[in-house]
Amino acid sequence: MDFEAVAKYSALHLKPAGLSLQYGTAGFRTKAGHLDHVMYRMGLLAVLRSRQTKSTIGVMVTASHNPEEDNGVKLVDPLGEMLTSAWEEYATCLANAEEQEIQSILTEICQKEAVKLHQYASVFIGRDTRPSSEKLSQSVIDGVSALGGQYHDYGLVTTPQLHYMVCCQNTQEHYGKATVEGYYQKLSKAFGELTKQASSSGDDQMCLKIDCANGIGALKLKELERYLPKKLLIHLYNDGTKEKLNHLCGADFVKVHQKPPLGLEIRPNERCCSFDGDADRIVYYYNDTAGHFHLVDGDKIATLISTFIKELLIKTGQTLTMAVVQTAYANGSSTHYLEEIMKVPVHCTKTGVKHLHHKAQEFDIGVYFEANGHGTVLFSKAAEEKIRHMAKEEKENQKREAAKMLENTIDLINQTVGDAISDMLVIEAILALKGLTVQQWDAIYTDLPNRQLKVKVADRRVIDTTDAERRAVTPPGLQEKIDQLVKKYRVSRAFVRPSGTEDVVRVYSEADTQENADSLAHEVSLAVYHLAGGIGEPPQPIC
């Protein structure tokens, strides 16, 4: 290892004194000015990971839905998946190391992971549109170069595009061409094929307003537009030409505030959607004729997609295992609809995309979406082969056509990670094929009223949970108290879980009315405050 080069470059990317960061589900995220040394060191780590896996590794410079002043970085593993847990720990250790410790930490990783130092290393780099991203991606390049790795800088791309291209590269382009053009061609071809059967009577059916969060999604949708069939008419808003990234707009803003973004006028019953800053989340919404706002979130997206796939599977006669994977935050009505009406098995995991993705891999077809609109569909290799074979060889017309539609659905979905562009095209295709308006889709089931609160505590580690975070194990007596409170209300449930990033406990409740959901959430918050070391003023009733 060329420690001289590592030290030389390292001196140009010094760590601010006293700064400590943690690599989490979203990688590293903080103020952009604190990240130069982290980017350089993640370039070093990506080279080691590439040598260890004998594969191309991705490095994405983005802070997703965070404010424009922030930035972040995440590494992408060989099949486009998120970085494995052991290497997350290495990332944290390396980012927080003092200058003189870098050499020994790199050596230790190489020994632990049997990294061959002369192995060829390849890193794909992408970035979002933040003002700080270009300079920070240059710091990543310095890290890759210091250890003699090769890199391809894709420049401005969405996070899911980088995941996609890493997967393409490492499957010898079996998954697709490792270029942005290849991505557009694959998706647009699948979308065109899938929507061929859609009735052409509802011309306005395929008209969509998109809030691009003043981020990378706008640039990439403009590039994609020329590949799309004319029947899909998209209108872009918050395209980054006037306002700041994620400011009063984007999927996270719409979901949290339950209202339309700034800069997008909605006429009654117009179908709209919002991307987040790096285009890996999507939520839909509309205003009804009375001017009331309706959010169609990740739960309803999962329901729409899984119902569509299940219906096609029945037509093919294939007996493939299929499940929807949710977290405890999924609305109870969605779980009930899937299990009782659609007869689709539902599994619950801990919060975090990594847990959902991992669980979804256990089935022939696994659909997962968080309520915030991040999600995708995974098809096992065996399921994909069966479907593709049937689309080609099946003699019976109806079965063959259904298999072809499933095949195009597979090609339209970005299986590596949640992808707002791909998910949007899947949703638009399904709505067109089923002849559904956004209101009809929304009316599949009615969400139970719910409330989310947080309680400040001295130490969040006091709370330990089990059963996919739905039940508290510690502190003693807390779960018993929650069970008592839940019994007071109809169709109710509640759970608490510690935040992954700050000393707060998150409280979630559902009940038959909003008033009861609010009241239950408040009472559970008080129980947390008294039994789990709450600090500051006790929680106040919700007005």
Catalytic residues: 64
Known binding-site residues for substrate equal 370-372, 497-501, 506
Which residues make up each annotated binding site for Mg(2+)? 64, 276, 278, 280
CA 299, 304, 310 angle in degrees (round to 5)? 120
- Which residues, in sequence order, are CB contacts of 107 under 8 Å at separation 6+? 1
Radius of gyration of the chain (CA): 24
Identity at 7, one-letter amino acid code = A
User: Read out DSSP for 251-277?
Assistant: HHHHHHHTSPPTT----TT--EEEE-T
For residue 86, what are the contacts with CB-CB under 8 A and spacing of at least 6? none
Whether 501 contacts 454, CB under 8 Å:
no
Q: What DSSP character marks residue 534? A: B
**241-246, long-range: CB within 8 Å, 24+ apart, which pairs?**
242/214, 243/214, 244/67, 244/68, 244/214, 245/67, 245/68, 245/128, 245/129, 245/130, 245/213, 245/214, 245/215, 245/277, 246/65, 246/66, 246/67, 246/68, 246/213, 246/214, 246/215, 246/276, 246/277
Distance, in Å, from the CA atom of 248 to the CA atom of 214, rounded to the nearest integer, reads 10
Hey, how many other C-beta atoms are within 10 angstroms of the C-beta on 326? 27
Q: DSSP per residue over 317-357, as a string? A: T----EEEEEETTS-HHHHHIIIIIS---EEEE-SSHHHHH
Binding site, annotated residues: 64, 276, 278, 280, 370-372, 497-501, 506
For residue 455, the number of C-alpha atoms closer than 13 Å in the C-beta half-sphere is 32
Neighbours of 166 (CB within 10 A): 30
3-state helix/strand/coil string of 366-418:
EEEECCCCCEEEEECHHHHHHHHHHHHHCCCHHHHHHHHHHHHHHHHCCCCCC
**Residues 213, 245: contact at Cβ < 8 Å?**
yes
Tell me if the bond preceding 541 is cis, omega within 30° of 0: no
Q: Are 235 and 202 in contact (CB under 8 A)?
A: no
Q: Tabulate helix, strand, coil % of the chain (nearest 5).
A: 45, 20, 35
